[in-house]
Amino acid sequence: MDALFETIEARKRDLPEDSYTASLFTHEKGENAVLEKLGEESTELILAAKDDEHEELAAESADFLYHLLVLLSMKGMDPDDLLAELESRF
């Protein structure tokens, strides 16, 4: 997750043209682009869970987590903020 987040941060900084991640940071809809994606991915995740398809559920969870990490980066946060919150509940 740390390596993926570092890649996301690099895409935010360098904005390569062929990068999907960079396209989320420069989207005309602003942060709504990634928020919409999170909505779609959560629906797909729920459908995979209902079908009890483990492979599909893992794939949809990965899609959701990736877009969540992009959102955290957009907000100037990082995975440590998420982990700190989880630890505070432990």
Ligand X SMILES: N=c1c2ncn([C@@H]3O[C@H](COP(=O)(O)OP(=O)(O)OP(=O)(O)O)[C@@H](O)[C@H]3O)c2ncn1[C@@H]1O[C@H](COP(=O)(O)O)[C@@H](O)[C@H]1O
**Binding region for ligand X (CB under 6 A):** 4, 7, 11, 19-22, 40, 63, 66
Q: Are 68 and 42 in contact (CB under 8 A)?
A: no
Nearest residue to ligand X on Cβ basis: 21
**75's torsion region: left (phi>0), alpha (psi -120 to 50) or beta?**
alpha
- Name which of 26 and 75 has its Cβ closer to ligand X: 26
Least distance (Å) from ligand X to the CB of residue 64? 9
Instruction: Please state, in angstroms and rounded to a whole number, the distance separating the CA atoms of residues 7 and 86.
Output: 23
Instruction: Using the minimum distance from each CB to ligand X, give the nearer residue, 51 or 88.
Output: 51
